Amino acid sequence: MSGRLILVRHGETEGNVAKLLDTRVPGLPLTERGAAQAKTFGEGLLDPPKVLFSSAALRARQTANYIEAATGVPATVLDGLHEVQAGDLEGQHSEEAHRTFQRIYGAWHDGDLTQRVPGGESGQDVLDRFLPAIVQLRETYLTPESGDGDVLLVSHGAAMRLVGRTLAGVQPPFTTNNHLDNTETIELVSMPDGGWECIRWGRFTPPFGYDVAPTSDDPMG
């Protein structure tokens, strides 16, 4: 084992507090609580990561910068790792907007990646921009020849859950019902056969058959 790919959800923003569909880049900054979450996460790491990356969104960059300050590992922005783009639903927080987003998002987890958020992305769009970065990171940092150490990637809840479901085969409704809190992680291990094994999803570890009821958390978790 050369290390884990650790996907980290960014710290709290005002959009999270207000339960907004907040997806545009650069987006809102961290709250004071979000900054404290990011500092605590970085200071709580048992070992510094081998490398540290983030999406281009402001909240992800700020979270990565706090982790950098705690670990000394420089943070680098990677393209393609931003949140699912909510299109016409951007900035909304109504029950109707949430239901529309969750219906389409749930369809992606059930295998229909062609459905599209009105004016926004399809599930395939999200994977087509996100997964090439994962392939690059795997080939560069997670091979037996690259040495031990984790790859830490600060990203976004909805995108992370879709990627985790796709790479490691974790099944819905666990993947759709179990939202990630701010600075929670999805942790993946690269397998010799080219696949991935998920060893942590938020507060859960395998097997991921837990009966998790839908939550009222912010929709992007």
Q: How confident is the model at residue 14 (pLDDT cuts 50, 70, 90)?
A: very high
Question: How do residues 90-114 score in pLDDT, each as one tens digit?
Answer: 999 999 999 999 999 999 999 999 9
From residue 194, give the alpha-carbon distance in Å to each of 17, 44, 80, 138, 187. 39, 30, 22, 10, 16
Q: Please check the confidence at residue 123 and state whether its pLDDT lies above 90.
A: yes
Q: What pLDDT digit, counting tens, does each position of 135-157 carry?
A: 999 999 999 888 889 999 999 99
Report the alpha-carbon distance of residue 68 to residue 39 in Å, rounded: 9
CB atoms within 10 A of CB 111: 9
Reported confidence tier of residue 198, pLDDT bands at 50, 70, 90: very high
Please give the share of the chain, as a percent, with pLDDT higher than 70.
96
Across the range 25-45, mean pLDDT stands at 97
**List 12, 68, 82, 83, catalytic entry:** 83
Does domain 6-149+159-167 fall under CATH 3.90.1170.20? My reply is no
Q: Is 10 a catalytic residue?
A: yes
C-alpha 10 chain-centroid distance = 8
pTM: 0.95
**Sign of the C-alpha dihedral computed for residues 50, 55, 60 and 65 taken in this order:** positive
Map out the domains of the chain as residue ranges: 6-149+159-167
If one counts every other C-beta atom within 10 angstroms of the C-beta of residue 125, the result is 16
Q: Is it the case that residue 209 has pLDDT exceeding 80?
A: no
- Sort residue 172 into left (φ over 0), alpha (ψ -120 to 50) or beta: beta
pLDDT of residue 219: 81
Q: What are phi and psi of 77, to 5 degrees?
A: -85, 135
Percent of the chain clearing pLDDT 90 (strictly above): 88
Name the helix (H) or strand (E) containing 9.
strand 4-9
| Three-state secondary structure call for residue 191 | coil
Phi and psi of 203, rounded to 5°?
-90, 0
Q: What is the pLDDT of residue 1?
A: 55
Q: What is the mean pLDDT of the chain?
A: 94
> Is the per-residue pLDDT at 57 higher than 60?
yes
Give the pLDDT confidence score for residue 4 in this predicted structure.
Answer: 97
Model confidence over 160-185: pLDDT tens digits?
999 999 999 999 999 999 899 999 99
DSSP 143-178: SGGG-S--EEEEE-HHHHHHHHHHHH-PPTTHHHH-
Give the pLDDT of residue 216: 59
**pLDDT > 80? residue 190:** yes
For this structure, is 83 an active site residue? Answer: yes
